Homo-oligomer: A and B are copies of this chain.
Amino acid sequence: MIQITPQPLTAAAFAPFGDILDCSGDADKIINQGMCGRFHDRAQIEVGEGAAGISLFNATPRSFPYTLNMMERHPLGSQAFIPMHEHAFLVIVAQDSGDAPATPQAFITAPGQAVNYFANTWHGVLTPLQAPGLFAVVDRIVPADLDCDNLQEYWYDNPYIVGP
């Protein structure tokens, strides 16, 4: 089994895979009589002819060493994960290599960071590292008959081990 060491999540490293949503840099606009900064339109939402929706995901926390035995991707739309807490979580992504994930890369978020995966980007399942594993998810709401078209899984014969 191959070990993968998570790295801090940075915009440069994550650029091929999606957007980081955080309050780095100056606000785009100051609103509410000076009391609020708006960091505007930070995710490239892709939903094709469909519509985006907001769902909540409540996931069981994982721990290190984490066994990565599967990655998935959603061809029909992007998918944003917004933590409803201040805890770091684990993000695993991979480039595509002939309709399979290339070597995965693992990242640890900083508090206040959300991520948006581009459509068709290989990623691990939601992996909070402590409770509550609660996230708001903004993704394409696909009709039930397209559900199968929007999920591809790749299972490893030899899982990766992710841990510091």
Binding site for B on A (CB under 8 A): 21-23, 27, 31-33, 35-43, 45, 51-60, 62, 70, 80, 82-86, 112, 114, 116, 125-126, 132-134, 136-138, 141
Indicate how many identical chains form the complex.
2
The contact sample of 18 A-B pairs, CB cut-off 8 A, is: A31-B57, A31-B125, A32-B126, A33-B125, A36-B125, A38-B137, A39-B55, A40-B55, A41-B55, A42-B53, A43-B53, A43-B54, A45-B52, A56-B114, A82-B82, A82-B84, A82-B136, A85-B86
Contact A59 B86 (CB under 8 A): no
CA–CA, A51 and B55, complex, Å: 17
Q: Are A141 and B54 in contact (CB under 8 A)?
A: no
A23-B126 contact, Cβ under 8 Å, with A86-B86, A134-B112: no
Q: Which of B54, B83, B112 contacts A21 (CB 8 A)?
A: B54
Instruction: Enumerate chain B residues within 8 angstroms of A116, measured Cβ to Cβ.
Output: 54
